[in-house]
Amino acid sequence: MARTKARLLPPAEPAPKMEAAGSAASLSAARPRHGLLALEIKGLFSERALNTVQEAPPALPQHPKGLPGFPCRSAPQKRQPRCLQPLTKPHNCHSTFVGKTSLIRTLFTSSPAAGKSTFVRLLEKHSDEWEIIPEPIAKWCNIQTAEDEYAELSTSQKSGGNLLQMLYDKPTRWAYTFQTYACLSRVRAQLKPVSAKLHEAEHPVQFFERSVYSDRYVFASNLFESGNINETEWAIYQDWHTWLLNQFESDIELDGMIYLRTTPQKCMERLQMRGREEEQEIELEYLENLHYKHETWLHERTMRVDFENLKEIPILVLDVNEDFKNDKIKQEYLIDKVKSFLTS
């Protein structure tokens, strides 16, 4: 990118104040702005992001734990309407797509084994205008796989680095690594272009199974408080997490959240029933800690969050403590709640 060089001229006759102000404004406009830092992760940054210059962020307050030089709140930005784009272009909410309805992007989250998989199937069957972006569990269980990153893998398929198993086996060693990779995979998912079927939908909705915010405020935070992520790692994690989300805020920002609320005891019961190999050593205390995080963040709304768009975001709380897998009446009730939430 060409840089404009301001040339200093010899002193001239004094100019009126209004002209001096205009001259200063011209020099200010010519001055090159703060450039984007490059994060060398293949496929993460779109061409648009790399070619867009950003204003230098303002000074941010210190972390409440007193970690030096660590920003804890993102700069407030004016929210732009999110619109569907032509299929030949990446998703970009700063421009318009004439004739199409705005896309609604919603997170649904819960503690492990709360019933998310059943809820996903319920959403998928209800409407062709709804698209579900699940967690890339297969990628976490085999980071070298090139297959479907959302499908469950057999034991024999998990030979390319089962990072999820490594986390559960040695959390102190692998917690930071796993949370870094999990966040990266979620950013990738939320930056993917809108699918063809949503471009044809009158009322398109995307549902994300957890998100970059779930990673930080529930799982990574819990690992830090339990001592599996140390203070240095936690400071680094929050630093790049805040910076990364600020760069892509308009592209990953959510319109609402759905919290599947279940007791830790019920989660433990369902976890043991589904028999996922990596989860067999999970203790009730771990589920209780995650439940507490979800409750303070999404139910009581007393958790301190660092992003302005999360402070007033609409949240739907669904009680799924009772089994709804084979209960048609309960399923209809949940779907009606979601539909009302999306149209309110």
Residue, of 300 and 7, whose pLDDT is higher: 300
Q: What share of the chain is helix, strand, coil (3-state, %, to 5)?
A: 45, 10, 45
What pLDDT score does 69 carry? Answer: 38
What pLDDT score does 38 carry? Answer: 39
What is the total residue count of the chain?
Answer: 344
Q: What single-letter DSSP state applies at residue 171?
A: H
What pLDDT score does 146 carry? Answer: 55
d(CA 315, CA 299): 8
Confidence of residue 101 (pLDDT cuts 50, 70, 90): low
Tokens of 135: 């967690």
What average pLDDT does this structure show over 64-77? Answer: 40
pLDDT at 130 > cutoff 60: yes
What pLDDT score does 143 carry? Answer: 81
Residue, of 228 and 280, whose pLDDT is higher: 228
Confidence of residue 52 (pLDDT cuts 50, 70, 90): very low
pLDDT at 45 > cutoff 80: no
Confidence of residue 91 (pLDDT cuts 50, 70, 90): very low
Among 9-13, 16-20, 34-38, name the one with the lowest average pLDDT: 34-38
209 is an active site residue: yes
| Distances from the Cα of 47 to the Cα of 3, 53, 172, 344, angstroms | 20, 12, 37, 35
d(CA 341, CA 92): 24
d(CA 233, CA 174): 11
pLDDT digits (tens, 9 = 90+) for 139-154: 888 887 655 544 454 4
Q: Which neighbouring-strand residues pair with 104?
A: 205
Tokens of 335: 């779907």
> What DSSP line would sit under 177-193, residue for residue?
HHHHHHHHHHHHHHHSP
Among 19-28, 114-123, 181-190, name the one with the lowest average pLDDT: 19-28
What pLDDT score does 147 carry? Answer: 54
Among 50-64, 98-112, 174-188, name the one with the lowest average pLDDT: 50-64
Q: Which of 209, 233, 253, 278 is catalytic?
A: 209
What pLDDT score does 60 carry? Answer: 41
CA proximity to 264, closest of 222, 307, 213: 222
pLDDT at 57 > cutoff 70: no
pLDDT digits (tens, 9 = 90+) for 73-90: 344 444 444 444 333 333
d(CA 84, CA 200): 10
| Average pLDDT value over all residues in the chain | 75
What average pLDDT does this structure show over 242-269? Answer: 93
The listed range with the strongest mean pLDDT (35-49, 129-143, 170-184) is 170-184
Cβ–Cβ < 8 Å for 179, 215: yes
145 phi and psi angles, rounded to 5 deg: -75, 145
∠ Cα 139 233 168 (to 5°): 45
DSSP-derived 3-state class of residue 106 = strand
Q: What single-letter DSSP state applies at residue 206?
A: E
pLDDT at 243 > cutoff 70: yes
DSSP element (H, E) containing 238: helix 231-247
What average pLDDT does this structure show over 92-98? Answer: 31
133 phi and psi angles, rounded to 5 deg: -105, 100
Residue 208: Cβ within 10 Å count = 24
pLDDT digits (tens, 9 = 90+) for 244-255: 999 998 888 899
d(CA 208, CA 317): 16
What average pLDDT does this structure show over 243-266? Answer: 93
What pLDDT score does 161 carry? Answer: 79
- Positive or negative: CA dihedral 190, 191, 196, 199: positive
Go through the domains of the chain in sequence order and give each one's CATH number: 82-343 (3.40.50.300)
Dmax over Cα atoms in the chain, in whole Å? 86
What pLDDT score does 315 carry? Answer: 96
Residue, of 179 and 65, whose pLDDT is higher: 179
